[in-house]
């Protein structure tokens, strides 16, 4: 929220409605995933009181707008409580859009998702990038637009399916692609490694192989873990926790993370000071400029 404070403060002359998701409620209400749980934290960061609105559309939300004055901030409830969010339901997006005059997307880490609050709204209201989004996009352009080569990029996350466009785009732009998180398991499986009961999209191994083939063709080296931390239970510090080579994962084990040795080795590849790479882009690269919804720069709205 600290990253988004500048955007909120820039809109101080307007009524501001904060729209966010919290966890994975899968289209149903859960009291522990309501954004009301973080209202106090948001107020402390913004150093002001805000109004919690238990809806994202409809009469209750409209009534809240009638109560708010210029400069006031309302926090809408978890947008993922409604199935229409992740389905990018046009009618759901229209319901949210009816609350406002402008749409500001400041959520770079969720901008790759074609959901109602991240993609649908951008086609229904004049859409702008927030200050945090602007900073991320400019950093991305500096890393991939005209970088000092060679370039290393680190991509993590649970699934290959949500980052196909990013991965296919990156292999033609970088010289080293370091893949981590759960998606690394899919690439390991594509190379014939038995990943046990680890999170893995086995139906996308052909896609992973195609991405690696495209990387070879463009001179990009794909880096995957060679030793991993595994366990039989998904719990904190289970007794079965151990480190092994990726080829030694048992059928009843799941890959939990990379050990220090593998992390250090990949760090050497991406460390500019080591002269391996002139540019290192470390972090979740989740926005493909060629497919994201139309967003104006914040300077066009945020004064």
Give the residue from 302, 242, 284 showing the smallest Cα distance to 158: 284
Q: Can 2-134 and 147-282 be said to share one CATH topology?
A: yes
Q: Which two tokens stand for residue 266?
A: 């990949």
| Cα(98)–Cα(239) distance, integer angstroms | 53
Instruction: Answer yes or no: are the C-beta atoms of 176 and 152 closer than 8 Å.
Output: yes
Q: What is the pLDDT of residues 141-176, one digit of tens each?
A: 877 777 778 888 888 877 778 787 888 888 998 999
Q: What is the DSSP string of the chain?
A: -GGGHHHHHHTTTS-EEE----S--TTS--GGG-GGGGHHHHHHHHTS--EEES-SSHHHHHHHHHH--TT-EEEE--GGGSHHHHTT-HHHHHHHHTT-S-EEE--GGGTTS--IIIIIGGGTS-EEE-HHHHHHHHHHHHHHTSPPSSEEEEE--S-SGGGHHHHHHHTTT-SEEEE-STHHHHHHHHTT---TTSS--GGGHHHHHHHHHHHHHHTPEEE--SEEEEESSSSSS-TT-EEEEGGG--TT-EEEE--HHHHHHHHHHH-GGGTS-SEEEES-----TTTSPP-B-GGGT--
Nearest to 171 by CA among 213, 139, 109, 224: 213
> pLDDT band for position 77 (50/70/90)?
very high
Please, are residues 117 and 19 in contact by the beta-carbon 8 Å criterion? yes
For position 277, what pLDDT does the model report? 53
Full strand arrangement of the beta sheet holding 279-282:
221-223, 176-179, 151-155, 279-282
Q: What is the pLDDT of residues 235-252, one digit of tens each?
A: 878 899 999 999 999 999
Residue spans of the domains in the chain: they are 2-134, 147-282
CB 197 within 8 A of CB 152: no
pLDDT in tens, 212-237: 999 999 999 999 988 889 999 888 78
Residues forming a β-bridge with 255: 230
User: What is the mean pLDDT of the segment spanning 263-277?
Assistant: 52
Mean pLDDT check: name the lowest of 125-129, 176-180, 190-194. 176-180
Is 191's pLDDT higher than 70?
A: yes
Asked if the model's pLDDT at residue 272 lies above 60, the reply is no
Q: Taking 60 as the threshold, does the pLDDT of residue 290 lie above it? A: no
Rounded average pLDDT over 84-106: 96
* Of 11 and 286, the one with more pLDDT: 11
Task: Name the CATH superfamily housing domain 2-134.
Answer: Phosphoglycerate kinase, N-terminal domain (3.40.50.1260)
**Is 287's pLDDT higher than 60?**
no
Query: How far apart, in whole angstroms, are the C-alpha atoms of residue 291 and residue 100?
Result: 24
CATH no. of 147-282 = 3.40.50.1260
């Amino acid at each position: 929220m600290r990253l988004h404070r500048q955007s909120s403060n820039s809109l101080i002359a307007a009524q501001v409605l904060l729209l966010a998701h919290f966890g994975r409620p899968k289209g149903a209400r859960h009291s522990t995933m309501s954004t009301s749980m973080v209202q106090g934290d948001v107020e402390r960061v913004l150093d002001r009181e805000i109004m919690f609105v238990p809806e994202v559309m409809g009469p209750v939300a409209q009534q809240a707008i009638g109560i708010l004055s210029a400069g006031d901030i309302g926090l809408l409830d978890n947008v993922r409580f409604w199935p229409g969010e992740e389905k990018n339901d046009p009618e759901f997006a229209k319901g949210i859009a009816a609350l406002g005059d402008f749409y500001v997307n400041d959520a770079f880490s969720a901008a790759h998702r074609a959901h109602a609050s991240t993609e649908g709204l951008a086609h229904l209201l004049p859409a702008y990038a927030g200050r945090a989004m602007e900073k991320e996009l400019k950093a991305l352009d500096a890393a991939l637009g005209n970088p000092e080569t060679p370039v290393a990029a680190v991509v993590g996350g649970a699934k290959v399916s949500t980052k196909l466009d990013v991965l296919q785009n990156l292999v033609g732009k970088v010289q080293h692609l370091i893949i981590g998180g759960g998606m690394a398991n899919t690439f390991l499986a594509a190379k014939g490694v038995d990943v046990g009961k680890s999170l893995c999209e086995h139906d996308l191994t052909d896609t992973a192989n195609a991405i690696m083939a495209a990387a070879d063709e463009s001179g990009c080296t794909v880096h995957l873990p060679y030793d991993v931390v595994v366990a039989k239970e998904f719990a904190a510090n289970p007794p079965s926790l151990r480190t092994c080579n990726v080829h030694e994962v048992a059928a009843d084990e799941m890959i939990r993370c990379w050990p220090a040795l593998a992390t250090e080795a990949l760090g050497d590849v991406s460390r500019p000071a080591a002269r391996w790479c002139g540019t290192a882009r470390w972090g979740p690269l989740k926005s493909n400029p060629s497919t994201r919804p139309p967003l104006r720069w914040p300077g066009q709205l945020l004064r």
